[in-house]
């Protein structure tokens, strides 16, 4: 059973796109907008296409990857001008580009069980190689304090859905037991998913980025969207040399 199946994918795109919208602002502010060759963006963990849609509207050439086929289906409908592929960030084939984005704990998720600290280092090295000189990697990671900041149980609802989340943390693995109810006709359909995240130390991430060759900047927000406690945002730039 894979993550972000039909109902939870729909719920995520209905009620949890705030950071993606802020990331669109951040990318547009940081990337040159007046030359054809400075508008290629690759998005890892693209979800339902919110960021891709906004970037395409601004004239960017976007390619998105997500491990959830249901998310990719939503993304293709939302942002038909972008290119989307079902796949993990672990082995995504990233062409030469001017920016890579991974918004919303993408590098923490253990949907791909190959993911670990060493694999992440390899992924970041690959991104560095794929970026044009001066290129940008914009992403966030959930740190250990993310578990402390989250309630053990939380609840959210929209016009036609409700979601309940039970959170626990053992050995730096954050687990979210997610129960969703989506209205289908006159009834509500239940779906259950378990999401697990490997929590990452932000200082270690900075050290890793700098070792690879990035200039690392830590942000407190994506555009005008402030990030929750324990979610650490990085703007990592490749040198122009």
pLDDT digits (tens, 9 = 90+) for 189-224: 999 999 999 999 999 999 999 999 999 999 999 999
Please report, rounded to a whole number, the percentage of residues in the chain having pLDDT higher than 70. Answer: 97
Structural domain boundaries of the chain?
Answer: 6-142+200-237, 146-197
pLDDT band at 34 (very low <50, low <70, confident <90, very high): low
- Please tell me the CATH superfamily of domain 6-142+200-237, with its number: Vaccinia Virus protein VP39 (3.40.50.150)
Q: pTM above the 0.85 mark?
A: yes
- What's the rounded Cα separation, in Å, for the pair 104 and 66? 12
Q: How high is the pLDDT of residue 241? A: 74
Residues 6+ apart with CB under 8 A from 82: 49, 52, 53, 55, 56, 62, 63, 64, 75
Residue 239: is its pLDDT beyond 70?
Answer: yes
pLDDT band at 151 (very low <50, low <70, confident <90, very high): confident
| 34 neighbors 6 (Cβ within 8 angstroms) | no
CATH topology of domain 146-197: N-terminal domain of TfIIb (2.20.25)
Three-state DSSP state, 1? coil
Three-state DSSP state, 105? coil
Query: Pairing mode, if any, of strands 131-142 and 173-184?
Result: unpaired
């Amino acid at each position: 059973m894979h993550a972000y199946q039909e109902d939870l994918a729909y719920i995520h795109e209905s009620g949890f796109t705030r950071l993606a919208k802020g990331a669109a602002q951040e990318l547009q502010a940081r990337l040159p907008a007046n030359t054809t060759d400075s508008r290629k963006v690759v998005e890892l963990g693209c979800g339902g296409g919110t960021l891709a849609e906004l970037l395409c509207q601004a004239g960017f050439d976007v390619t998105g990857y997500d491990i959830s086929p249901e998310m990719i289906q939503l993304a293709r409908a939302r942002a038909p001008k972008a290119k989307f592929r079902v796949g993990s960030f672990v082995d995504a084939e990233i062409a030469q580009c001017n920016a890579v984005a991974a918004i919303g704990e993408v590098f923490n998720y253990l949907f791909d069980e190959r993911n670990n600290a060493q694999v992440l280092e390899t992924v970041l090295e690959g991104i560095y190689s794929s970026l044009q000189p001066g290129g940008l990697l914009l992403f966030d990671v959930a740190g250990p304090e993310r578990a402390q900041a989250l309630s053990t149980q939380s609840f959210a609802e929209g016009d036609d859905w409700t979601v309940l989340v039970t959170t626990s943390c053992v050995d730096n693995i954050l687990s979210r037991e997610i129960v969703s109810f989506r209205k289908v006709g006159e009834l509500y359909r239940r779906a259950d998913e378990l999401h697990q995240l490997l929590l990452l130390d932000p200082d270690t991430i900075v050290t890793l980025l700098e070792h690879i060759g990035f200039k690392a900047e830590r942000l407190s927000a994506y555009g005008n969207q402030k990030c929750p406690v324990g979610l650490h945002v990085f703007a990592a730039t490749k040198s122009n040399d």
